[in-house]
Amino acid sequence: MNKFFPNDSRSLIETILVLLLLLLLMLALYDVLRVFFGVLTFALIFSVSFSGPFERLVRILGNRRVLASIIYSILLVAIVALPFTFIVSTVRHHVRESIVWLADVKKNGVPPLPKWVINLPFVGEDIDSFWQQVQDSPRDAIAHHGEQIRQLLRRMLTSGAGIVGTAVQFIVGIFISAYFLATGKKIMEPVELTTVHLLGKEDGLSLLGVITQAIKGVSIGIMGTAFIAGFLAWIGLFLAGVSYSLVLAGLVFFLVLLQLGPLLVWIPVVIWAIIEGHTGMTIFLIIYGIALLVIDAFLKPILIARSGGKIPFLVLFLGVIGGLAAWGFTGMFKGAIIMAVSHTVFTTWLGRKTSGSFG
């Protein structure tokens, strides 16, 4: 038997089988943990972004890390809960208005459109034509456009469910980040030991430093962009004289943090200004909203790349944009880490080759 399978061959086969089993185990582990990637992404964002303020809070409280993590969680959840409370109360108010409007329609028929809607450029005539069909024969008009209405409702429900689901991940991520911050560096000890064991002390710690720097760059970039967008939104809304400007600015911060952008807040505000007949305010809000959108689009990658430390600007920029296009929100972290690690491995290998050739 041994002449057909020498010891070296059997060792190779056993090694291949072990590697295949490890690969299957890693794939199964990925399937199990895939649901938590969004939560862990938010936990990383918060734990990295707020590590400095958290450590200062710990020193103020006399090194009581658990108490500091509780205060940290309450403050962040309150910041998240404030915009959502406003959204829920607003939705309830509009639902009541819709019920009253439907009762009036049943009694008096569909009311005519306001003149400003009819005079809207490009779409005003089409809206007016559809509205006249609804006034003349509501059932036929709804039946004719039934598929478009169903698609619109489906998109609204899907978007709403997505926002609620992301908000839940957001809040759970806050509590997990509080746990990360409370435990300090202890939680990273197994990762450091494993990396050092596999790659050696110098290369292992260097690789961990690069990954940490990439995560820090993306986290600070995302949080920084959200804070700047929220602050600028508050200034614009305050100058325009919009009510609840601070609450709306908090909602802009939250939506920019979730990568949904400020338009979900800005467009309804512009529509409200149009309905109220505030022409000057409407023009100001449109121009300011475009500027805010441009800032949100360009500031994020710049902040991420500039906070990446020794990692070149272009490397992190390409990683963030490519990862966002490939995998969505969590892709920004994946792309930045992949590009940072690849750049570090390549430059290390190239440096060794160069020193070996000329040394």
Question: How is residue 166 annotated by DSSP?
Answer: H
Q: For position 359, what pLDDT does the model report?
A: 45
Cα dist from 186 to 2, 54, 69, 179, whole Å = 49, 16, 15, 11
Q: For position 95, what pLDDT does the model report?
A: 60
Residues of the chain with pLDDT under 50: 1, 357-359
Q: Can you tell me the distance from the alpha carbon of 161 to that of 157, in angstroms, rounded to the nearest whole number?
A: 6
Residue whose C-alpha is closest to residue 257's, from 154, 174, 156: 174
Residue whose C-alpha is closest to residue 218's, from 349, 124, 139, 309: 309
Residue whose C-alpha is closest to residue 270's, from 290, 296, 253, 251: 290
Question: How is residue 63 annotated by DSSP?
Answer: S
Q: For position 12, what pLDDT does the model report?
A: 73
48-91: per-residue pLDDT in tens?
778 888 889 999 998 888 899 999 999 888 876 666 666 656 65
Q: For position 358, what pLDDT does the model report?
A: 40
Which alpha helices (DSSP H) does 184-278 contain, by range? Answer: 189-199, 201-240, 245-257, 263-276
- Is residue 304 within 8 Å of residue 318, measured between CB atoms? no
Q: For position 70, what pLDDT does the model report?
A: 92
Instruction: Tally the residues of the chain.
Output: 359
Q: For position 357, what pLDDT does the model report?
A: 46
182-203: per-residue pLDDT in tens?
887 777 788 788 888 877 777 7
Conformation bin of residue 118: beta by default, left when phi > 0, alpha when psi is -120 to 50: alpha
Q: For position 36, what pLDDT does the model report?
A: 80
Rounded to 5 degrees, φ, ψ at 112 are -70, 160
Q: Rg of the Cα trace of the chain?
A: 27
